[in-house]
Amino acid sequence: MPITNNIIQTHKNKISTFVETGSWLGDGIQQALDNSFDVIYSVEINEESHNKCKKRFVGNDNINLTFSSTEDFFKEIIIDNSHPLNNERCFIYLDAHSNCTAGRFKDINDVAPVLTELELISKLKINNHIIVVDDFRYMRNYNKWAKKFSGMNMKEELKQRFLNINSNYIIRYEPDSLDVEDLVVAFTRD
């Protein structure tokens, strides 16, 4: 499920780079294009989805598609001083989880990498990115891929990780068409 245009428009300001985890069929990428981001990065662990996105966006030189786990994706960026995530404020959309793949892709080690992603984001050289985490409804209810979070207070877990990135982060729970608090947004006022 792509992010809402409302959230993008509220927080985009002068940000030109959009980074997505979980490309799936490319709808989030299309939405970033429609909202006039200049450069888009998206990572996908499922080769079939990655190839579909490559085909869909062929010729778009401003779209960078990576076939990888999000964990390896961020680990490589952390040591790449020239990457926008280490040089400018970006818009990060965390949407990687396994429900689109419905158990068909056994090579996915981490079916819900959001907490790992936030830990890796804390190692980037810029600490005021806009970060949006999708599908909080599953994390709250421990459904489907979010079963691994059973018994955890996910608002508290996310909060700790956001504040570890930047103690000035403001955290808001926002609605989409599926739930009143499906999108978690972390932003600073600077």
Ligand X SMILES: C[S@@+](CC[C@H](N)C(=O)[O-])C[C@H]1O[C@@H](n2cnc3c(N)ncnc32)[C@H](O)[C@@H]1O
Q: Does 66 bind ligand X (CB under 6 A)?
A: no
Distances (CA, A) of 26 to 103, 120, 147, 159, 187: 20, 24, 26, 28, 25
Q: What angle do CA 68, 132, 44 make, to 5 degrees?
A: 15
Q: Does 100 bind ligand X (CB under 6 A)?
A: yes
Among 40, 41, 84, 95, interactor with ligand X by CB under 6 A: 95
For residue 105, count CB atoms less than 10 angstroms from its CB and return exposed for 0-12, middle for 13-18, buried for 19 or more: middle
Q: Which SS3 state, helix, strand or coil, does residue 98 take?
A: coil
Give dist(CA 171, CA 173) in Å, integer.
7
By beta-carbon proximity to ligand X, the closer residue of 101 and 166 is 101
Q: Does 131 bind ligand X (CB under 6 A)?
A: no
Among 96, 115, 133, 184, interactor with ligand X by CB under 6 A: 96
Among 32, 40, 43, 154, interactor with ligand X by CB under 6 A: 43
Among 27, 157, 179, 181, interactor with ligand X by CB under 6 A: 27
Q: Which of residues 109-128 bind ligand X (CB under 6 A)?
A: 110, 113
Q: Does 176 bind ligand X (CB under 6 A)?
A: no
Of 6-14, 41-49, 56-64, 154-162, which part binds ligand X (CB under 6 A)? 41-49
Q: Could you give the strand order of the β-sheet that contains 170-174, starting from the edge strand earlier in sequence?
A: 63-67, 39-44, 17-21, 91-94, 130-133, 183-187, 170-174
For residue 141, count CB atoms less than 10 angstroms from its CB and return exposed for 0-12, middle for 13-18, buried for 19 or more: middle
Instruction: Tell me how long the chain is.
Output: 190
Please state, as a whole number, how many other Cβ atoms lie within 10 Å of the Cβ of residue 161: 21
Among 77, 98, 118, 121, interactor with ligand X by CB under 6 A: 98
User: Smallest gap, in angstroms, from Cβ of residue 167 to ligand X?
Assistant: 28
Q: Does 138 bind ligand X (CB under 6 A)?
A: no
Binding site for ligand X (CB under 6 A): 2, 20-22, 24, 27-28, 43-46, 49, 69-70, 95-98, 100-101, 108, 110, 113
